[in-house]
Amino acid sequence: MRDIRTKMLLGEDFDKLKDFKILLLGVGGVGSFCLDCLYRSGLRNVTIVDFDTYDLSNQNRQMWSELHEDEFKVEALASHYPGIETINVKIDKEWVEQFDFSPYDLILDAIDDREAKIALALKCHKKLISSFGSAKRVDPTKIEMGSIWQSKGDRFGARIRYELRKRGFNKKYTVIYSTEEAKCKEKGSFMGVTAAFGLAMCSAALQKAIRNE
């Protein structure tokens, strides 16, 4: 019964979600809400990757963080989303270059390591959805989704585009970004934006699963 409303919306397309394999990189302010949305929407063949533990500073924006202080994020989240797979490892450039992404239909990038994000684009752009900067902003209506080359208004994203061009990369992949100007220099954050990034990522993943891309 838990999926009945989603089935009403998607009809026969709902059956396409069952075996669609997703790798979600990072389960912080963006990734944790993306995971919750995926799971509630019927996309449960999910593997999450993160190495961090919860602390007090996470509690303004990360799902379940107030219940699991000092616990590993992937282990805590597995207790709330039965059946998901977990990998407890630091996601950096070297890990991306060595990891086998071929078993997964879609890679969701909710990390903030620039070099790792660039390595992901170079290695698996065909099945990548990447989140740019969600911190320092307060207006979720400024969030947009489109090709890496259409993205704008984000210094973090601009640097990634620059580095990709330097490497001769001219392919396309989907990114989620905000056109809102940063409100502070530090990494201040507001759940209304970080969560909205995660929900937008989930929506993009759902639509790709339905189209079987």
For 52-76, what is each residue's pLDDT tens digit? Answer: 998 998 888 888 999 899 999 999 9
Average pLDDT, the chain: 94
pLDDT of residue 171: 95
Number of domains in the chain: 1
Residue 198 belongs to what domain range? 4-211
Residue 136 pLDDT exceeds 90: no
Q: Taking the model in full, what pTM does it have?
A: 0.95
**Residue 89 is part of a domain; what is its CATH number?**
3.40.50.720
Taking CA atoms, 18 is separated from 161, 164, 173, 206, in Å, by 34, 34, 24, 11
**Distance between CA atoms of 186 and 24, rounded to whole angstroms?**
26
Query: What count of Cα atoms within 13 Å lies in the side-chain half-sphere of residue 165?
Result: 8
pLDDT digits 0-9 by tens, 84-130? 999 999 999 999 999 999 999 999 999 999 999 999 999 999 999 99
Pairing of strands 128-131, 85-88: unpaired
